[in-house]
Structure 1
Amino acid sequence: MKILAIDCSAGAASACVWQDGKVLGECYTNVKLTHSQTLMPMLCGILEYAKVELPQIDVFAVTAGPGSFTGVRIGVASVKGMAFAQGKPCAGVSTLEAMAENLRVLDCTACCVMDARCGQVYNAMFAVKNGVVHRLTPDRALSIEELAQECAGCSTPVVLVGDGAQLCAESAAFAAVDVRLAPEPIRFQRACGAAVCAARAAEAGKLLSAEELLPVYLRPPQAQRSLKRKH
């Protein structure tokens, strides 16, 4: 089974071609360009270098959220378009679950965290042991202070991973909490993690049609929140 996976849920963006447990090719960028500029050239390049044509892809996967509202929309729309055109199924993957795959080689509590702005983070906790990732909490939005209190009560080493990891590690709330910051090469969400999650979804019979694939935001967009406060 060949999976084409993409992630553009935050500042970094990546695309991956994955087949039966092997990464055939992956492209990753973390530059100050919009995903509308980088994503399609990245997809074309990775397919060319992996010697895979779009009709050969069996599943199209995307980190469907949480994350940047614009980035998530771009990623989901791109995958919906490709899957619809090819008549193939999709996998909408939790961004937080995908980044937990970065820590598969460690025995730890993976604290997957993204900057949600306004003093909040998107977070989910995972137990990682003997190469197996097990979800401990649902995806949620909470304050950095609340997350720090939860991490302080963990009995296993806590590793911060995600684009909000450094934000938490450097915050006053985490000053007295014993956590580790994942090294930069494995700190950010990657498309290969999304591909692994998509493969699990395929095995469990949880793939979606292009019409069924939707973004997951966890909270309303800033414009809606501002309007609600105004009223």
Structure 2
Amino acid sequence: MIILAMDSSTSACSAALWSEGRVLAGRLSPMARGQSEALMPMVAGVMAEAGLSFADLGLLAVTVGPGAFTGLRIGLAAARGLALASGLPLAGVATPAAVAAGISGEERRGRNLLVVLESRRDEKWMQLFDSELNPLSDIRALPPSQAGELAAGPVLVAGDAAPLVQPHLPQGVVATAAGYPDAGVVAALAAHQWAQGRSLPPEPLYLRDADVTLPGQSAP
């Protein structure tokens, strides 16, 4: 199955075509704003590079946040429009999971991973994973000074707001990988979740509640 995935939920914009464990074509550009102008040309670019049409695709995927409100809305609107026009199913992928999966296993080894995402508010979106990418917490909105409530001891910190929390984590190290999702990783996650029947709906997770509980999880 060939998957077209896209992301604009953080301080970057990305689109990729993926099939059977391999990225066929991909684009990723860091940007604080301008995703509305950049995303669809990226989609057109990867489709042209791979020489594919929408009739060749089996699934669309998009990050559903949480993240920056405007970018998240742009990505979801674009993905929904493509799904409506093409008749393809659309799967949602949580942004923290996509960021976490983009960190190499070697860098994650032996420590937990805290993903911290910009919200354009005082609180930042945070979620803790173990070294095998299993969630250890729900997604929470916390000020950087309270990051230690989620992550104690040696921890790798990733995400576009990671530098803001690192000073508050004495044993925290900022990951070397980019702090935003790569659409190729989004596609791989979408394929795995789709096969297991646990894809997220293509609905935004920019909720204002202090704690966000994903479908299938129980509140803390």
Contact (CA 8 Å) 2:69, 2:119: kept in 1 or not?
A: no
Structure with bigger gyration radius: 1
Determine the C-alpha separation between the residues in 2 that align with 1:188 and 1:96.
Answer: 9
The answer for the alignment partner of 2:24 in structure 1 is 24
- Superposition deviation, residue 140 in structure 1: 1.7
- Return the TM-score normalized by structure 2: 0.86
Determine the C-alpha separation between the residues in 1 that align with 2:137 and 2:76.
Answer: 24
The answer for the alignment partner of 1:202 in structure 2 is 194
Q: Give the one of 160, 168, 171 matched to 2:165.
A: 168
Determine the C-alpha separation between the residues in 2 that align with 1:215 and 1:33.
Answer: 19
1:122 aligns with 2:134: no
Contact (CA 8 Å) 2:66, 2:207: kept in 1 or not?
A: yes
AA of the residue aligned to 1:69: F
Q: Give the one of 171, 181, 185 matched to 2:174.
A: 181
AA of the residue aligned to 1:189: P
- Superposition deviation, residue 198 in structure 1: 0.5
Deviations 1:58-92 (A, max 9, x none): 11111111011111111111111111221111111
Extract unaligned runs of 5+ from structure 2. 210-220
AA of the residue aligned to 1:188: Y
- Superposition deviation, residue 206 in structure 1: 3.2
- Superposition deviation, residue 207 in structure 1: 4.4
Distance 1:218 1:33, change over 3 A: closer
Distance 1:33 1:144, change over 3 A: closer
* Higher-helix-fraction structure: 1
**SS in structure 2 of the partner of residue 186 of structure 1:** coil
RMSD: 1.8
Greater mean deviation of Cα atoms: 14-23 or 142-151: 142-151
The count of residues paired between Structure 1 and Structure 2 equals 206
Determine the C-alpha separation between the residues in 2 that align with 1:139 and 1:82.
Answer: 28
Extract unaligned runs of 5+ from structure 1. 221-231
Distance 1:164 1:110, change over 3 A: same
**SS in structure 1 of the partner of residue 37 of structure 2:** helix
1:63 aligns with 2:59: no
**SS in structure 2 of the partner of residue 205 of structure 1:** coil
Q: Which runs of 4+ in 1 moved over 3 A?
A: none
Deviations 1:195-227 (A, max 9, x none): 12211221112347xxx622111217xxxxxxx
**How high is the sequence identity, in percent, across the aligned residues?**
33
